[in-house]
Amino acid sequence: MGQEIERKFLVNTDRLGELTGGEVMRQGYIDTRSLATVRARIAGERGWLTLKGGNRDGVRSEFEYEIPIEDARQIIDELCCGPVIAKTRYRREYQGYTWEIDVFEEDNAGLIVAEVELGDVTENPPLPDWVTEEVTSDPRYYNSQLARRPFQQWPPSER
């Protein structure tokens, strides 16, 4: 069974420095009305279909398959509900770990999060000085939730 183990953090942009070499992504979500999340994604010139189970403290089942980019476009345009997530993903190495830094655009502009994938739930990676509050267990920061309730709609007290 596929499994994703990750931790997610907010980012202090004053400490982050310049980001280069990002990959533009568009992704939409299919409403499953259950614990599963079904996502279609376009990353660069490639398409993906991903199914994820419920999140339990940063751990969930995950199945991801590359699909033709035209199929991904059609799925996003015809089957996904709510706004499409638009972001640029940057990767940065830090002490043996690859951090993915997502700079959101459009309805989620102003939000920047960093994720690190782990091989085991007991792993405790060193944190770069540019990460701040951990939001791994806060469902508001799940991309699927940002498609339903974008960051720009949050009141200032929730940001």
Which domains, and CATH codes, for the chain? 3-150 (2.40.320.10)
Distance separating alpha carbons of residues 130 and 139, to the nearest angstrom = 22
Q: Which of the pair, 37 or 7, is modelled with greater confidence?
A: 7
Question: Which pTM value belongs to this model?
Answer: 0.89
Going 75 to 106 to 13 to 8, the CA torsion angle's sign is negative
Among candidate residues 29, 97, 141, 142, the one labeled active-site is 29
pLDDT more than 90, % of the chain: 80
Closest CA to 50 of 137, 58, 42: 42
Closest CA to 49 of 36, 34, 68: 68
pLDDT more than 70, % of the chain: 99
Q: Is 29 a catalytic residue?
A: yes
Tokens of 85: 């997530």
Tokens of 139: 């469902």
Q: Which of the pair, 56 or 25, is modelled with greater confidence?
A: 25
Side-chain-side CA neighbours of 66 within 13 Å: the count stands at: 4
Residue 1 binned pLDDT confidence (cut-offs 50, 70, 90): low
